Amino acid sequence: MRYAFANCLLDTESYQFRRDGTPVPLEPQVFDLLRYLAEHAGQVVTKDQLIDTIWGGRIVSEAAISARISAARAAVGDTGKAQGIIRTITRRGFELVAPVEVTGHPPASPAPASTSRQTIRYATSRDGSRIAWAVSGSGPPLLRAGHHVTHLERDWHSSIWRPEFDRLGAAHRLIRFDIRGSGLSDPLTPGSGIDTHVEDMAAVIDAAGLDRFAMIATLQNTPTAIRYIAENPGRVTRLVVQCGYVRGRARRETAYADPEADPSIALLREGWGDPDNGFMRAWLSMFMPGATREELTEFIELLGAASSPDHIAEQRRVVDGLYAEDCLDRVAIPTLVIHPRNCVAHPLAEGQLIARAIPGAELMVIESTNIACMPSEPAWEEQLSATLDFLARD
């Protein structure tokens, strides 16, 4: 559907918003808010309706709602003072007061994304450790191997990650997992390395009943994925690498001679999980300098729920030592490597190394400084659309 109002165009099929013909990047929640207001143009939409639709009925602060309304007004060229397009109805809600012209056809199944659900189960790895994994969506199987500090339950309710899960799950049976030492999985065991992580991944794959499947590998799970693919030919059909690397930071030419001198390790112990702690913000800002203040706050809270300061410091040492460059030439499947141009933690050269070594691999460079694309940046939609398009190829 396309909703035209004032000098704006909201396209729900392409997930694009334009003002005066120019694309305007929107956070997914702001896009959904504008869509809901446009669908109910001329009607008062209550805060409870917005909470049910945009946040899936979760408890949301007044500040969060106000922030999204302010962002929506800024996107359409309105202000809280003028309220020429989005009007606040005191003690009642909000109304899109501009005339709206609707074109296109409504989808056959207009169920909102908030109706989707996930199921969490446990797989048993070779050494007996229990690895938590989750399944959602429907369609061809897709394993998403995320970063090293995830929490299946908390991430599912996150405004940072949930939009991506819903988009992937709309086209695929999506499988995710917490690596050992993170989230709902068992703690990290002494001596854990890439072999252990490969065994954990294999345990999840077997528990999920996957035979042939596509895979998204991000960050430190990339060397694990590469090793698994090299050792299990014929299982993975397509691979998308997002800000991945096959040489942990301790295996690169720029590695610190003394790991304790690495500021990213030292800062981990100060205020872990506390969004009001300056050290914690400084640490995360090194990896995500392009994130908004709200995204940093939520990300810090998610990290705090997923791991403790001591565990994450040890986890960091393990992933910094991961290595799978010697396996790249054995990855004989269609591969798309997506890498941010200006990522400081994992430079573009690391993505280029992967793309050069895997036969026939494609390289896509996105304009971002973050280790993970945030919903507020245009690169988020570019990466997700490219990923879905690549996975849909014959």
pTM assigned to the model = 0.71
The two structure tokens encoding residue 235: 């299982």
Residue 37 has pLDDT above 90, yes or no: yes
- pLDDT the model gives residue 326: 96
- pLDDT the model gives residue 268: 63
Domain with CATH 3.40.50.1820 in the chain: 116-391
**Residue 345, C-beta contacts closer than 8 angstroms, at least 6 positions apart:** 249, 264, 286, 287, 371
Residue 70 has pLDDT above 50, yes or no: yes
Q: Give the DSSP letter of residue 372.
A: S
Residue 225 has pLDDT above 50, yes or no: yes
Residue 20 has pLDDT above 80, yes or no: yes
Q: Is residue 137 classed as helix, strand or coil in its secondary structure? A: strand
Residue 262 has pLDDT above 70, yes or no: no
- pLDDT the model gives residue 263: 62
Q: What percent of the chain has pLDDT over 90?
A: 64
- pLDDT the model gives residue 161: 94
Domain with CATH 1.10.10.10 in the chain: 2-103
Q: What is the mean pLDDT of residues 259-276?
A: 70
Specify whether the CB–CB gap between 125 and 179 falls below 8 A.
no
- pLDDT the model gives residue 108: 39
Residue 205 has pLDDT above 70, yes or no: yes
* DSSP per residue, 66-103: HHHHHHHHHHHT--TTT-SSEEEETTTEEEE-S-EEEE
Specify whether the CB–CB gap between 312 and 183 falls below 8 A.
no
C-alpha dihedral over 365, 316, 147, 393, to 10 degrees? 50
Residue 246 has pLDDT above 50, yes or no: yes
What are 101-120's pLDDT values in tens digits? 998 755 433 334 445 789 99
Residue 387 has pLDDT above 50, yes or no: yes
Residue 184 has pLDDT above 90, yes or no: yes
Residue 90 has pLDDT above 80, yes or no: yes
- pLDDT the model gives residue 109: 39
- Please state, in angstroms and as integers, the Cα–Cα distance from residue 97 to each residue in 8, 50, 88, 112, 374, following that order: 13, 17, 10, 24, 30
Question: Which residue bears the tokens 């507020």?
Answer: 376
C-alpha span between 96 and 321 (Å, rounded): 53
Query: For 2-103, which CATH class?
Result: mainly alpha
C-alpha span between 169 and 388 (Å, rounded): 11
- Helix 28-39 × helix 62-76 angle, to 10°: 80
Residues forming a β-bridge with 239: 215, 335
For 171: left if phi > 0, alpha if psi spans -120 to 50, otherwise beta; the answer is: alpha
Please name the fold of domain 116-391: Rossmann fold (3.40.50)
Average pLDDT, the chain: 89
What are 107-162's pLDDT values in tens digits? 433 334 445 789 999 999 999 999 999 999 999 999 999 998 999 999 999 989 99
Q: Is residue 257 classed as helix, strand or coil in its secondary structure? A: coil
* DSSP per residue, 170-184: TTSEEEEEPPTTSTT
- pLDDT the model gives residue 336: 98
The backbone torsions φ and ψ at residue 241, rounded to the nearest 5 degrees and listed phi first, read -105, 125
What are 38-53's pLDDT values in tens digits? 999 999 999 889 988 8
- Please state, in angstroms and as integers, the Cα–Cα distance from residue 206 to each residue in 136, 152, 200, 235, following that order: 17, 19, 10, 11
The two structure tokens encoding residue 299: 């990300």
Question: Which residue bears the tokens 């393990």?
Answer: 318
